Amino acid sequence: MEEIREAKSEMRRNMVETIEKLPEEEIVQKGAAIENRLFEFANFLEATIVLLYIDTPGEVATDKIIKKCYDFGKMVILPVFNSETGAATLMKVDNAENDLVPGPHGILEPDPDKCKVVPIECIDIAIIPGIAFDEKGCRLGTGEGYYDRLIPDLPVTTRKVALTMEAQMAPQVPMESHDKHVDIIITDERIIYKI
């Protein structure tokens, strides 16, 4: 168990370093390629209620994706995580510029005074963040376990889709029994269906 945790920490550090070494222009280009693939992806186009995330270092940026979702008439849902219990409250965000406030870790999250709670059963597609992935759909997050708690609560019919740069694909992501997979991974080069 301890070996797996150490392997995960090392992979997390290496991936964040790899991304930080990429030129900003390359990150923007790869992000645009991922965004284009997402907005051509049938499951995403058919979805009305989309769970997204606000990115942290090492994750694909979502600010342009969120804005584009509004243009496509999609309902944008963002999570608020309780740092003590790890439980997620999903909230509808009508305006990402005005309806977000800094959370406990300094990451923007929906303002409960401006955003309405949305039942998890309503989510059509869930865009799940991560720092590293493999072709089996294994994901490595920030280590807080928030999404490992959230994913099992999503309806079986809800597609769990990850966005990542090809540089963040690993031969194998170390997994523990509580770690959860995604169904589909969209990179700047391809779409990977869990094998």
Asked whether the predicted pLDDT for residue 151 surpasses 60, the reply is yes
Pick from 33, 61, 177, 44: which is nearest to 123 by CA? 44
Mean predicted confidence (pLDDT) in 144-173: 93
Q: Is residue 164 part of a domain?
A: yes
Q: Is residue 64 part of a domain?
A: yes
Pick from 125, 8, 127: which is nearest to 61 by CA? 127
Q: Would you say 155 and 3 are in contact if contact means Cβ atoms under 8 Å apart? A: no
Pick from 37, 28, 40: which is nearest to 190 by CA? 37
Provide the residue range defining the domain that includes 119.
Answer: 2-190
Q: Is residue 99 part of a domain?
A: yes
pLDDT, tens only, 125-138: 999 999 999 999 99
Asked whether the predicted pLDDT for residue 53 surpasses 70, the reply is yes
Mean predicted confidence (pLDDT) in 53-66: 92
- Percent of the chain predicted with pLDDT > 90: 74
pLDDT the model gives residue 26: 94
Asked whether the predicted pLDDT for residue 195 surpasses 70, the reply is no
pLDDT, tens only, 77-104: 999 988 888 789 999 999 999 999 988 7
Residue with more model confidence, 39 or 58: 39
Mean pLDDT of the chain: 92
pLDDT the model gives residue 35: 96
Q: Is residue 195 part of a domain?
A: no
Q: How far is residue 160's CA from residue 157's CA, in Å, rounded to a whole number?
A: 9
- Percent of the chain predicted with pLDDT > 70: 99
Instruction: Quote the number of domains for the chain.
Output: 1
**CATH, residue 50:** 3.40.50.10420
pTM to 2 decimal places? 0.92
> DSSP readout, 49-60?
EEE-----TTS-
pLDDT the model gives residue 145: 83
Question: What b/e string do you get for 45-70 counting C-beta neighbours within 10 Å, with b at 16 or more?
Answer: eebebbbbbbbeebbbbbeebbeebe
Q: How far is residue 127's CA from residue 69's CA, in Å, rounded to a whole number?
A: 12
pLDDT the model gives residue 105: 75
